Every structure is written in structure tokens, then in C-alpha cells.
A = this chain, B = another copy of it.
């Protein structure tokens, strides 16, 4: 299912192939975020044209609307959404965190999203009650009570029919102490075992009998816990492993978490880093042995007027800037996306200035194609035995 094809010299990076029932993912790969079944502003035809490897949907959002049973009745995500390539579904663990501890502590994946050593000012009251059984919360759609157990999440994901599914986990925040982080990790491990049992028991349910369940490593930014979690999840025999939860308070913390985790994982299984997608982060993580990524940033940035390019510092331009008003160049010289092929920067600036809906698609097409081309360069470097970091620094 996962094959390592080549390794880079002086790096833990691997070039690989991950076979799924709906196509093979070339790794390292960026998985585009399609929370509710669509990459925002794009269609499935767009995604095919852009060379996207795979999509990741969200069990929490899709089960609330339109409902996992509805999607199953239409052939699962592959039949329902028009994207017939590989699908991943996240479990909803991160959404449970966002409504709970993430809300109380005012943080996302990295505390640095809200800099400082203490929880940010944006804390609120938890909308989640976590028990050993699972997570009780209110639907954001209609306020009704929802219960997510490891078993229920597997059942929902069976119905959604993604090729790779992830179990319910408990994410922690960088402001959780060692004791809490350890307790949450232990619970995540017990939930992982329950998810595996539920997955075996539900064989045959849903539209995609070939789907596989990967494990999720937790443990926050504590070395001892991350290593223990990686060993435990690996020992449970999952065919792939995702690195979840808090990655610490800085980029340096994040890289250490990746190093500790990867050191304990088997060489022959693919490794996914949840929710990370910056250019430098991907380069550093690939060179530390991560194979796949997902992140909402490229598409969210596009909608907010930020277009990605390797030609500029920080890898981005703000297309609303007045200096683009009469700029007849494409967003990125040499880019082969439909947007760069057809429109000058001045037109994109006009569309974003006037609030035209067309803008969102044209901007998103570019940023998604940017990620595809960027990962192409990374894979080319690895195929030539060079580390990922060489793919951008020496273009």
C-alpha cells in the first residue's frame, strides 16, 4: 500500500507512493482541504485539472450536514462530491478541541497563533463535555445534542467512505500541563484501540470496503509523551500514522515534535502531519520524514487576497495592493495554472476590489496549483537524492 521509492542524502525525507482504492498518491503530497466535501470555490473538474493528489473532508461537519447516511446513499464522498480520486476524512477530534479546550485557551494548533506565554485573551467557555466514553457537544447547525464516541466516528467514516480515515482523538493545547496532556494522550490511545475494534466490526459497512484506518499520535510538545505515543500507536499496527494535537509554542517546538515522533515510527508506514501547510514548514517536515500534509491556509489565503509565489519574499503577494492596478503580468511568472494562463494581476485586483465571486475561484486555482507544483519540486529533489529544502533554495 505504501512504497518508499527513494531517499534523500543527509535527510530523513522519502519519495513514495501510497496506493488507495481510488488512485495512487505520490508522496510527499499536499492533501487539499475540502471540509464540507468541496475545496472552497472550486469544482471537481478544477481539482483534476490542477493535479491535486487527494482531498481531506471533515467527519464532524459532514455528519452534521448533510449527514453521513445521506452521503452513503449517494455512493459516499466519491459519488456525492464529484471528486473520484483519493479521499481522507479527519475524525472531528480537532473540532471537538476547537469547541472545548481550544476555545478556553484561545489557541489553535500552535500557541504562537496568539503570541505570548499565557493563554490568549480570546478564551471562552467550553461547549464540549469530554468523558471516557466520548465527546458530548451541541451541533453548530441546529443546537441539537451530538455524541461522538470512537465507535460512532468510525461508523460515520465508514458511511462517508473515504480511502483513509482517522480515529477520534483528544487534542490538547500548548497551555495544558504535562499531567493533563498525559491523561489526554492515554485516553486517545484507549480510543485508538476502540476505533480499531469498531473498524474491524464494521467491515462491509458503507460504500468503500477498501478503506483503511490510520492512527493519530498525541502527546503535546513533551518529548517523553510524543515518543511514548508514537510507540503505542505504531504498536497497534495502523497502516499509517498522523501527527496530531499541539505542536508547541514555536516553529522550533514543531520541528522537535516531528523529530521525536518520526524517530519512533516504523520506516514502512506513511506519516501525515495534520493542519500544517506553509512552504518552509513542509520543507522542514519532509526532511524530517513526513510524507503527507493538509492545511486550509493556501485556500483561505487566496480568499483573503494573498497569492502564493516562490518569486517573492515570504512566498506571497497581497493582490489588493494598488501597485498591481495596471500590472499586466500573471500572478507568478512560469505558473501554468488557468489563472496565470489567462489573466493579468490587474484583473484579479479588480475582481477582489469589486467583490466579484469569480475572484475566489481564480485565486484559489492559483494557490492550489502552487501547492501541487511546489510538491512536484520537492519530489523531484528527492528523486535526485537531494533534500526537500534544496528544492526551493536552489530552484
Cα separation A44 to B340 with both chains bound (whole Å) = 12
Q: How far is the CB of A55 from chain B (nearest CB, A)?
A: 12
Task: Let me know if A326 and B74 touch, CB within 8 A.
Answer: yes
Residues 1-51 (chain A) with a chain B CB within 8 angstroms: 36-45
This chain: how many copies in the complex?
A: 2
- Selected contact of A43 from candidates B303, B328, B361, CB within 8 Å: B361
Task: Let me know if A40 and B357 touch, CB within 8 A.
Answer: yes
Whether a CB of chain B sits under 8 angstroms from the CB of A382 is no
- Selected contact of A74 from candidates B37, B328, B353, CB within 8 Å: B328
Whether a CB of chain B sits under 8 angstroms from the CB of A312 is no
Chain B residues with CB under 8 Å of A37's CB are 347, 350-351
Chain B residues with CB under 8 Å of A328's CB are 73-75, 79
- Selected contact of A326 from candidates B39, B70, B361, CB within 8 Å: B70
The count of residues in chain A whose C-beta lies closer than 8 Å to any C-beta of chain B is 42
Whether a CB of chain B sits under 8 angstroms from the CB of A321 is no
Q: How far is the CB of A49 from chain B (nearest CB, A)?
A: 9
10 CB contacts below 8 A, A to B, read A37-B351, A38-B358, A40-B356, A43-B361, A43-B362, A65-B353, A70-B325, A74-B344, A74-B346, A81-B347
Residues of chain A at the chain B interface (Cβ within 8 Å): 36-45, 65-66, 70, 73-75, 79-82, 303, 325-326, 328, 338-339, 342-344, 346-347, 349-351, 353-354, 356-358, 360-362
